[in-house]
Amino acid sequence: MGLLTGKKGLILGLVNDYSIAWGITQKLHEEGAELGFTFLPDKDPANPKMERRVRKLVDPLGAKFVQPCDVQSDGDLDKAFAAAKEHFGQVDFVIHSIAYAPIEDIKKPVYDVSRDGFKLAMDVSCYSMIAVTKHARQILTPGGSVLTLTYLGGERVIPGYNMMGICKAALESAVTYLAYELGADGFRVNAISAGPIKTLSSSAVKDIDAMFSLYDKMAPMRRNVDALEVGKTALYLVSDLASGVTGETLHVDAGFHVMGAPPASAKELFS
């Protein structure tokens, strides 16, 4: 019997096998969870590339619920969660693994981002978590939880992360307010702040390869993490082991976030 045997959950934001959401999916499935998924609707329904990509991953896991959902559409969210309620009845957790910023804006300095680009990034990367939580609380079991993903750029200036850092700061603040508001109903809301991982989203961040190298030299564990390690922490946070944990941003970054300066062994970082 696994840690999540008999538990049900939704994962929003799985794109491909490089996604952090895929690392989470694998760990939750290994521990017995019954999982459902949403994906960004394909622009051309006659050529459903996104749906095929997601189904290729989750069909072998026995996933019976795979639903299109654009988190910018209240109608899509209504339909997706209504379908989830019909399929599952209730769920024990909902995982929000969604972020986006226009490539032309994320590459600009913060002072030069466009108004429309900023609104779009905040809508998808932060407000969608609020909207998802609103719907999730209607189908969560007692003690259920909502989990999202963030990054250190929401707490510290990470050159190249730019506007997305502001979005993550807003997301982390939203987690604390949502945790307060849902706590009286017995629900929990948390975030995982993962180290940099090679995903479709991270490829848009300038100098991301240098960031990977920096973690190898500067993190207390002298390495970075992978999506499966994030998955292990997600497993903890959505399980009964974390029944007393809410409003938390838990770092899974080999300790990088605690460092204020490079270790003496990384002499090349001083030159």
Residues recognised as catalytic: 151, 161
Task: Extract the tokens encoding 168.
Answer: 């993550």
Cα 95 to Cα 146, 170, 178, 219: the distances in Å are 6, 18, 14, 27
Compute φ and ψ for 223, nearest 5 degrees: -165, 170
Q: Count CB-CB contacts under 10 A for residue 115.
A: 8
Structure tokens at 180: 């307060």
d(CA 72, CA 217): 39
- Pair 19, 13: CB distance under 8 Å: yes
Measured over the CA atoms of residue 61, residue 23, residue 72 and residue 88, the dihedral's sign is: positive
Q: Are 144 and 93 in contact (CB under 8 A)?
A: yes
d(CA 122, CA 25): 25
Strand ranges of the sheet holding 65-68, from the earlier edge strand across to the other edge:
65-68, 34-39, 8-12, 91-96, 140-150, 188-194, 249-252
DSSP 8-state assignment for residue 191? E
Q: How far apart are CA 108 and CA 40, in angstroms?
A: 26
Q: Which of helix, strand or coil describes residue 112?
A: helix
